[in-house]
Chains A and B, each alone.
Chain A
Amino acid sequence: MPLIDVSGSPTSQALPPATGITEANTTSVGHAPVVTLVFDGPTDGKAFSAAAVLRSEGYAGTLVGIGPVGIDRLTQGFRVGFDLLEITDTELQQLKPCHLAPFPHHYQPNPNGHPALKKSA
């Protein structure tokens, strides 16, 4: 199944074996250039926190999420630090810009250095 980046472009990427999420910290992944985390189901969000932890601890390599992420969760995945996320061929055909960036602002800081926390007016 295709992997897409934050712009929605499909990319070919050779993936290493998936990393167990309970070990997903910088000690376990070291300087691996690519780390793959698995979504076990369409409502499983454990990998969102695993990715956030890795980015928080300074992991700078490529983070890949595989499994049933779903196009409505792509924005969450990219915002917590994934570089590439897996979608199905059908989802790729349905993909629109609004699925990748549904919100003009966010309340939370972003580990990739994207939009900052909103300050209350």
Chain B
Amino acid sequence: MYQYNAIDQAIVDARVAQFAEQMDRYLQGSLSDEQFAPLRLQNGLYLQRHAPMLRVAIPYGTLDSRQLRKLADIARRFDRGYGHFTTRQNIQFNWLDMAEVPEVLGELAKVQMHAIQTSGACIRNTTTDPLAGAVADEAMDPRVVCELIRQWSTLHPEFASLPRKFKIAVTATDTDRAAIEVHDIGIRLKRHAVHGVAFDLWVGGGLGRTPVIGRRLLADLPVAELRNWLTAALRVYNLAGRRDNKYKARIKILVNAMGLQAFREQVTHRYLSDHDPALRIQARELDDLAACFSRPLEPRLDVPLPAAPEFQRWFGQNTRPHRVSGYRVVFLSLKRPGTAPGDVTATQMEAVAALAEKFSLSEIRTTHDQNLVLPHVDCSDLESLWRALAAQDLAHPNINLISDSIACPGIDFCSLANAPSLSLAEALHETFADLEEQMAIGPLEVKISGCMNACGHHHIGHIGILGVEKKGEPWYQLTIGGRDQNGVVLGERLGPAVPHDAVLPLIRRVVDRYLAERQQGEIFVDYVARCGIKSLKEVSYATH
């Protein structure tokens, strides 16, 4: 993993001091609520429905055991004993005392963590494949590029007051597990005959109230020029992006208004005109960063695995192949009955930190699906790990199944939301309580958002659920057939919105129709692609 040097540490420490001074001015009345808002937001501090919420950055979703222990410590000392992993690989604490936030930031800085730019109209935490460095077909470890972007974008003086928030994602495999096509900028790293590794630059994707699939702006660019190209694209956006209407301020709106070709010409003009040699990435810099993330592992001989059905079910559902034979990637499900998706107690965090030390080179990953990953587990340790995870209620074998839903905090916490999200996630557990049935249904991603801001990414769920307000009551709009990998597809609206208690019966009818009509081995989203949603519409609303 990347380790801070003295300069990184000095910057983060200075940011803590800066925010403490800003907080002092606010608490003393020198700063109004309006003046303080952009300052606190750029340190991840929100005012939620019940209490201040702090969003802590987990750069590119990679943590070490020491950092996870610190998050547990903060959860216990400053919050209510738990944290909430988000759909952008970060963690949120929902019950902080505002006056204590500078102290929390100081604690984070002790383990090379921060909350810088986890909110606000600036460049947010760069996300990537949660399996980075552990899978076989990477052009390079995408975290190398993510770390370059982290440094370049951190406290960037030119881009701290953008028209709107700005999200970048990076992938380095053919299978895009970072959903780059629904980000403001997506970077696809690939092997290249001339440059060794090159990248394609995608632009203008995003969800929210105006979902747009990004388009490829430029192709086959050398990685050495990444910072100059990003500067050019951000500069065009900052100069031309709308500021008169926050719902029209994202880069996707600008690209659509300008046209892709005109946007491309402007970005290319800025790149050529403003090119800065100091931004060029040297081979040595790439090599040094690559060394930070490198995890040399010796291949191991296959070992016999326990034949117990419970172990086999967990192994099949919650582990994936590793780039090195004899190792597996292990998913820890944070979707259990009775627990909000992504919630983890301080005790569980400490347990995972210890298990990562023992079984996964002290590395932990966070996923967009609000689960955790231990990326480098020796197969001979799998049984011990499985038993230890089960003791912590973290071995629920439902990864990618219908109960592995993702959900924003919804109206239970968020002041923007129209409707509850978490109760629907719980209802999925109740309706599909039988794991054997879930496995028979196969991969089915349910994504739940409590409002149009789409923090639950409902547009790209196989089944998407959007909370809307109707005459003061929460109702839900379902979309079907969305997908976030291998060619993003936005889900199609199933029909009229329904009240809370009608959502799960409706999903049950959709699933039953799919089971009745699918071809052998056909997963839900492929069935929808083949048949469309006409049949599902008919069955869904037959009784309404």
Contact = CB atoms under 8 A, between A and B. Distances in A.
A108 B156 contact: yes
Contacts of B295: none
Contact of B11 (A22, A42, A57, A105): A105
A21 B239 contact: yes
A87 interface: no
A89 B11 CA distance: 30
B5 A121 contact: yes
A104 B14 contact: yes
Interface stretch (A7-15, A28-36, A112-120): A112-120
Interface string B146-161: 0110011011111111
Secondary structure type dominating chain A contacts? loop
Interface stretch (B15-23, B328-336, B370-378, B508-516): B15-23
B157 A109 contact: no
B151 A48 contact: no
B35 A105 contact: no
B380 interface: no
A73 B161 contact: yes
Nearest to B287: A120
Interface in A11-62: 21-22, 40-46, 48-50, 52-53, 56-57
A98 B5 CA distance: 23
B136 to A, nearest CB: 26
Secondary structure type dominating chain B contacts? helix
Given A49-B239, A53-B274, A98-B17, A118 B7 contact: yes
B38 interface: yes
Contacts, number: 120
Contacts of A73: 160-161
B496 to A, nearest CB: 38
B293 to A, nearest CB: 12
A44 B147 CA distance: 28
Contacts of B35: 42, 70
Contacts of A79: 157
Nearest to B120: A43
Q: How many of chain A's residues touch chain B, expressed as a range?
A: 35 or more
Which residue of B14, B18, B157 has the most chain A CB atoms within 10 A of its CB atom? B157
Nearest to B14: A103
B288 A103 contact: no
B141 to A, nearest CB: 14
Contact of A52 (B14, B25, B235): B235
Contacts of B18: 98, 102-103
B10 A104 contact: yes
A22 B242 CA distance: 13
Q: How many of chain B's residues touch chain A, expressed as a range?
A: 35 or more
A119 B274 contact: no
A80 interface: yes
A46 B276 CA distance: 20
A50 B5 contact: no
Nearest to B280: A117
A107 B160 contact: no
B384 interface: no
Given A49-B239, A102-B14, A94 B30 contact: yes
B317 interface: no
Given A53-B235, A117-B278, A72 B22 contact: yes
B279 interface: yes
A103 B9 CA distance: 11
Contacts of A103: 10-11, 14-15, 18, 155
A80 B239 contact: no
Contacts of B470: none
Contact of A104 (B11, B152, B243, B288): B11
Contacts of A121: 3, 5, 7-8, 288
The 5 A-B residue pairs with the shortest CB-CB distance, nearest first, are: A45-B161, A121-B5, A76-B157, A109-B278, A79-B157
30 contacts: A22-B240, A40-B243, A42-B38, A43-B161, A44-B243, A48-B159, A48-B161, A48-B238, A49-B159, A49-B234, A49-B239, A50-B239, A72-B22, A76-B157, A76-B161, A77-B157, A80-B158, A94-B30, A103-B18, A105-B10, A105-B11, A107-B11, A108-B152, A109-B276, A109-B278, A117-B279, A118-B7, A120-B5, A120-B288, A121-B7
Given A21-B239, A49-B239, A120-B285, 14 more contacts: A43-B161, A44-B243, A46-B239, A48-B161, A53-B274, A73-B160, A80-B157, A102-B14, A105-B7, A106-B11, A106-B155, A107-B11, A120-B147, A121-B7
Interface of B: 2-3, 5, 7-8, 10-11, 14-15, 17-18, 21-22, 25, 30, 34-35, 38-39, 121, 147-148, 151-152, 154-162, 234-235, 238-240, 243, 270, 273-274, 276, 278-279, 282, 285, 288-289
